[in-house]
Amino acid sequence: MNILNELRTRFQAALAGFCDDPASFAWMVKPAQDTRFGDYQANCAMSLARQKGVKPPELAKQIVDRLEVSDLCEAPTIAGPGFINLRLRNDWLRGQMQQLIGDERLGVLPAAQPRRIVVDYSSPNVAKPMHVGHLRSSVIGDAVCRILRFAGHAVTSDNHIGDWGTQFGMLIYGYKHFLDREAYDRGAVGELARLYRLVNQLSDYHDSIKRLPELHDALAAARTTHDETATLPAVSDKALDETRKKSLRKLAVRVAEFEQLVAAADQTIAAVESDETLRSLAGAHRQIAVASREETAKLHAGDAANLALWQQFMPACLAAMQTIYDRLNIKFDLVLGESFYQPFLAEVVANLEQQQIATTSNGAVCVFIPGFEAPFIVKKTDGAYTYATTDLATIRYRVETLSADTMLYVVDARQGDHFKLLFETARKWGYDGVDFRHISFGTVLGDDNRPFKTRSGDTVGLESLLDESIVRARAIVDANDDRKAGGAELDAGERAKIAETVGIGAIKYADLCQNRESDYVFSWDKMLAKTGDTATYMQYAFARVCGIFRKGGIDRAALRQARGEIELATPSERALALQLARFSEVVDQAAAECRPNVLTHYLFETANSFSTFFEHCPVLKAETDASRTSRLLLADLTARVVKQGLELLGIRTIEQM
Ligand code: ARG
């Protein structure tokens, strides 16, 4: 049972007649911050009293008089300025535990109104090596799918790969001019990645040469403005002085930004000019950027040779992606990339024009959305369709063919405007009944607070990141096993398997435990720490609970079947039971908000709660048989909740580590 929802429903009934909108005041029931006062707390009396001009404690009393919760709570108390505190009855809580023991779903009820949800995530641009940025979408998207499925919704996961973009023009150009045939035969993906990087590097080089003079001018201008402001005569007016200091700081930031751009351009140029081969290639391919764009245009126009190359590249690219998904244990129901929607684009634009949703402006077909300066361009001046057009065609397909009523896009926050325009356009186009949501996330940063890069400045490849995590995890697993009191327990094969589970789990958890909108700093030490809010801590906690059963020679399934009684004799037993009873409410919240960190936070608290319980309450050596059984049952429930919770995050557990 979702306790929070139940209490809110009871409050809503009690508040009916007190206000026009009882539901929103009932929403103010929350889990208590300070558990000394109770398990849940409502502050609605304060806001409502302000509205009505009565004293909050008096109103709180009136609400409490009408509140019918005696079946699950002790008599509510009113505290301080009008907080209503609720404490669940011990017998009720014990009843809840008793139910959980026999419930595979651990109290989570399937959604009353199941939705048909398409989750668009991972969606990398293929043929470029996947990097850490793709990790966030993949890991968050996978967890969101698992949580929504468990909550009872019909979920279709769709990897909307970028398989039709400009990178293919670059690859085709590279293939036609720079191919190392032998390397390609040995491993197509490696060679394609090299070609992509080479073409990119050469076009960046020419672009930097072209832009460098402008950049120098802009830097000089920024410096002049800064220096002029800095040397203005002093003023006595305090406010004016503050304003000036502020603008001086801003100007300094601008100077630093241009300095960085100049330095980056210098570096790009130097990298090519210091290398004999690269320099001569650059000289021979001055038009490489334009020529690559032309190759893309030819591909899109159906040129047979380019299409054949595209078809030749794709299987290898997809296979490389699949290796990563397999290691991450991420599966998709559909992989319908941008290329799939190409046949529909002309019709989409025609339809938008016909319905006068799109109009031609400066030769481009655009949708104008009030409140947005930039239009949503569905056909460019040169006749090319866009990312936007494809996304519109995709929406139509998902509604008409997949019968989706909800679409979630797990995509980088920097695409926020694209999605706002997309959703508005789709609503105008008739899909106003669909619940569209951009499940947005921030950037993974390095120690320097800049987007995560390797020392050499490349973006970090995903494959090597996973490898490194497993190597680091192995050291932890080895040390832990070697240090065991009764001697090491694991052989090399077991250690390797655990290291894989710990290494992958750590990377996933580090991402999932963040508020997804925030940027976060990538740190090996933090994510693999054995104590603290990490997968490693949780996985070891789980194994520790399983260890109790191993040590006591207890069969967990038989224990459950024996239907022993749960006693909540001590505060730490009660606190653990309350925590376990809240699983359903947490899963519901994580599902409603698409926030895996709600779940990680809960699991961390649960593991801590178990720790406290285990410190205070002997389990195998409990004083009475009844108490031993009760504690074993609590331990078993803890293990099940942690395992299920981690599973919803896509993180594996191992019983012996
Ligand atoms: N391929 C895009 C990128 O790497 C992300 C696609 C997200 N999904 C979508 N339907 N637009 O930026």
Same domain? 77 vs 174: no
Distance between Cα 503 and ligand 1 center (Å):
27
Nearest to 405 by CA among 623, 114, 650, 86: 114
Tokens of 155: 């979920």
Same domain? 196 vs 299: yes
Count of residues in the chain: 657
Mean pLDDT of the chain: 94
Q: Which of 88, 117, 141 is the C-terminal boundary of a domain?
A: 88
Cβ of residue 481 lying under 6 Å from some atom of ligand 1: no
Cβ of residue 162 lying under 6 Å from some atom of ligand 1: yes
What type of residue sits at position 491?
Answer: D
Residue 78: give the domain boundaries. 3-88
Q: Does residue 539 fall inside a structural domain?
A: no
Q: In the prediction, which pLDDT does 18 show? A: 81
Same domain? 171 vs 291: yes
Task: Report the alpha-carbon distance of residue 341 to residue 336 in Å, rounded.
Answer: 8
CATH classification at residue 24: 3.30.1360.70
Q: In the prediction, which pLDDT does 113 show? A: 94
pLDDT tens digits, one per residue of 166-216: 899 999 999 999 999 999 999 998 899 899 999 999 999 999 999 999 999
Contact 151, 588 (CB under 8 A): yes
Q: In the prediction, which pLDDT does 429 show? A: 97
- Mean pLDDT of the 216-240 span: 90
Task: Report the alpha-carbon distance of residue 129 to residue 289 in Å, rounded.
Answer: 20
Residue corresponding to tokens 């074993």: 632
**Least confident span in 152-161, 477-486, 595-604, 629-638:** 477-486
User: How far, rounded to the nearest angstrom, does the alpha carbon of residue 642 sit from its chain's CA centroid?
Assistant: 20
The continuous run of DSSP H or E covering 291 comes out as: helix 288-300
Q: In the prediction, which pLDDT does 130 show? A: 80
Share of the chain above pLDDT 70, in %: 99
What type of residue sits at position 102?
Answer: G
Q: In the prediction, which pLDDT does 457 show? A: 59
pLDDT tens digits, one per residue of 367-384: 999 999 999 999 999 888
Pairing of strands 83-86, 77-79: antiparallel
- The residue contributing the CA closest to ligand 1 atom 11 is 391
Total domains in the chain come to 2
* Residues β-bridged to residue 30: 41
- Mean pLDDT of the 551-576 span: 94
**Least confident span in 131-140, 279-288, 412-421:** 131-140
Task: Report the alpha-carbon distance of residue 53 to residue 296 in Å, rounded.
Answer: 68
Cβ of residue 650 lying under 6 Å from some atom of ligand 1: no
Distance between Cα 207 and ligand 1 center (Å):
25
Q: Does residue 217 fall inside a structural domain?
A: yes
Please report, in angstroms and rounded to a whole number, the separation of the first and last CA atoms in the chain.
Answer: 33
Greatest Cα pair distance, the chain, in angstroms, is 87
Same domain? 82 vs 181: no
pLDDT of 549 strictly over 90: yes
Q: Does residue 289 fall inside a structural domain?
A: yes
Q: Give, as one character, the DSSP assignment of residue 415.
A: G
Q: In the prediction, which pLDDT does 399 show? A: 98
Task: Report the alpha-carbon distance of residue 162 to residue 631 in Å, rounded.
Answer: 52
Cβ of residue 158 lying under 6 Å from some atom of ligand 1: no
pLDDT tens digits, one per residue of 487-541: 999 999 999 999 999 999 999 999 999 999 999 998 888 999 988 999 999 999 9
Q: Which of 73, 88, 103 is the C-terminal boundary of a domain?
A: 88
Side by side, the strands of the sheet bearing 116-120 are 154-158, 116-120, 406-412, 435-441
Q: In the prediction, which pLDDT does 332 show? A: 98
Task: Report the alpha-carbon distance of residue 88 to residue 506 in Å, rounded.
Answer: 35
Q: Does residue 12 fall inside a structural domain?
A: yes
Q: Which of 309, 334, 355 is the C-terminal boundary of a domain?
A: 309
- Mean pLDDT of the 149-169 span: 95
What type of residue sits at position 288?
Answer: I
- The residue contributing the CA closest to ligand 1 atom 6 is 123
Q: Does residue 138 fall inside a structural domain?
A: no
- Mean pLDDT of the 123-152 span: 91
pLDDT of 405 strictly over 70: yes
pLDDT tens digits, one per residue of 262-273: 999 999 999 999
Tokens of 462: 């995903």
Q: How confident is the model at residue 17 (pLDDT cuts 50, 70, 90)?
A: confident
Q: In the prediction, which pLDDT does 232 show? A: 86
Q: How far is CA 248 from CA 26, 237, 254, in A?
A: 50, 16, 10
- Mean pLDDT of the 154-160 span: 98
Q: How confident is the model at residue 30 (pLDDT cuts 50, 70, 90)?
A: very high
Task: Report the alpha-carbon distance of residue 208 to residue 210 in Å, rounded.
Answer: 5
Distance between Cα 162 and ligand 1 center (Å):
7
Q: How confident is the model at residue 459 (pLDDT cuts 50, 70, 90)?
A: low
Q: Give, as one character, the DSSP assignment of residue 119.
A: E
pLDDT of 638 strictly over 90: yes
Q: Does residue 81 fall inside a structural domain?
A: yes
Q: Give, as one character, the DSSP assignment of residue 385.
A: B
